[in-house]
Structure 1
């Protein structure tokens, strides 16, 4: 894409050529485009209007042709313009204009969600420590490039799970905290700007009919209605392919039959990711203990299943292959006894990870904005 950008926007040709020829790191189109977009909005007047229009016209012409290019333009260009509240709406073509409006609406909703979080932490002081811990963790690890800053959405998911867990392990104080949290969430139901947060919170609560569903009796009527509606939609969209995959596993992997029978009894619908996620580390431990023959039926089964159904492939790739141990971890080396299809998936995932690391390294090496003078 950078080559096409240089061809269409003459004023950037020298900079693109120099960037692509840089001796250190792998050139990153994301990094370069974000750098140019920030330069346009952070140094008003430095870029002539004609040059700005050339850049935006180029992005308009590229939009909608390739999903990867769309993602690049969305994250590295339009998002920068929205974040800086850039007054460029009239310069955007129809396709980028729609994306700009979509992200602007997202900014408004994001502001409403921040206010929601402020109300939550103001009303329930016992949650502040958890929010502070999330921020401390992010600050400690952000240089690694894999973590996003804590957000209202991720925090709501976290506290839904944590509050129920503490209620079960605790006493009167934890029960009162859970009731207070449910009461606050009940009062927030119905605001379109923050309904996503409420939905994600409620979605993490137990399902009706499970042994731990007694906490649902503590919900107000609107939250309970929302949880029931979520379950109804989940039942309608349950994956038949995943269910059949688990039933075949019960037939072909004898040592897991009792576990699968328990899973079928615990959930109204079989959940491939949940079950494989429950057993994957046990498989690694058995391999590390030398019980290869015990786990071989499962490994052979996964090899046979892989490559025929997208939903089943996703379960195997995400909940098994992606979890394979690194050097020094329990079960490292198990890939040596995997079949060729699963080893191919391992190689694909590693190649993607290496490419991602190169992208992150290249983004960090993007030079600071040097203005129009360098052109």
Structure 2
């Protein structure tokens, strides 16, 4: 049996910014800490990114397009609950069956949030993020807007030694989402690919693409300022404002057509644009969940022999692969704005208004 010790025995309460009612301001609540048992690990949270997905979770539904939506209650998520699926911090306690020992106390970690039931074939094969009974940190389980978390298994803790704590948690969301999508088209590293949408996730995708060795990447957006950052700071080989006259033709003339497109927006307009930019045998990977619809004349699929697929976050193994690039210094850090967690309602307002370049990161005392 492993020795169980804690960094501090004085902490008795956990503070959490809590969704009391969908769409209403979050409220700070306190509760008693429970010691971890079995394989569980307790992590003191130092920082947690605020993601656009958190906005949807806060509102209580996801837009599925065509007037359809998915209620979080259908996924087993009802108030009160605690947001935050980009947490990072340090190990402070663990259960007797966790496989950890006292040397692990204080170790910096990222919490992998896309946890499943732990029993199905997908979970047993390391595809927890595809589980039909999700137990996601920040949805079905309390998230990183609490100052301590109980994580069900140490395998969901990724070493973050030497990683900027302000950015660490974002690698489990925007970083992992980018990496998993790029892996789906990694055979195209020598050809032109396009990244549609260079907000927080798309900018991360540019950084990850360059780390992975993609040689010709076009950044496509409607914001000239973001496009300038994509080119000047993150190495985009071509930038296109899709609102500009003849934007699609300009890109086609410059590249001869794209071998792959990753759509980090997911609107009807961006999907239409992507289909038009792909050349023969092109691949479209849809990541964004803006709520659009895919309108493709079926003969076009046959004539251009297109491959269409979706991508949603990624696996624990993929996060470990990504972090090997990060720790090697190959992934350029994205801009991050730190805000104390008690200002979460202001942070949500700023993110909704589109006033944030990069990531908002909520910090705990």
Could you tell me the TM-score, scaled by structure 1's length? 0.27
Structure ranking higher in helix proportion? 1
Higher Cα radius of gyration: 1
Structure ranking higher in strand proportion? 2
Could you tell me the TM-score, scaled by structure 2's length? 0.27
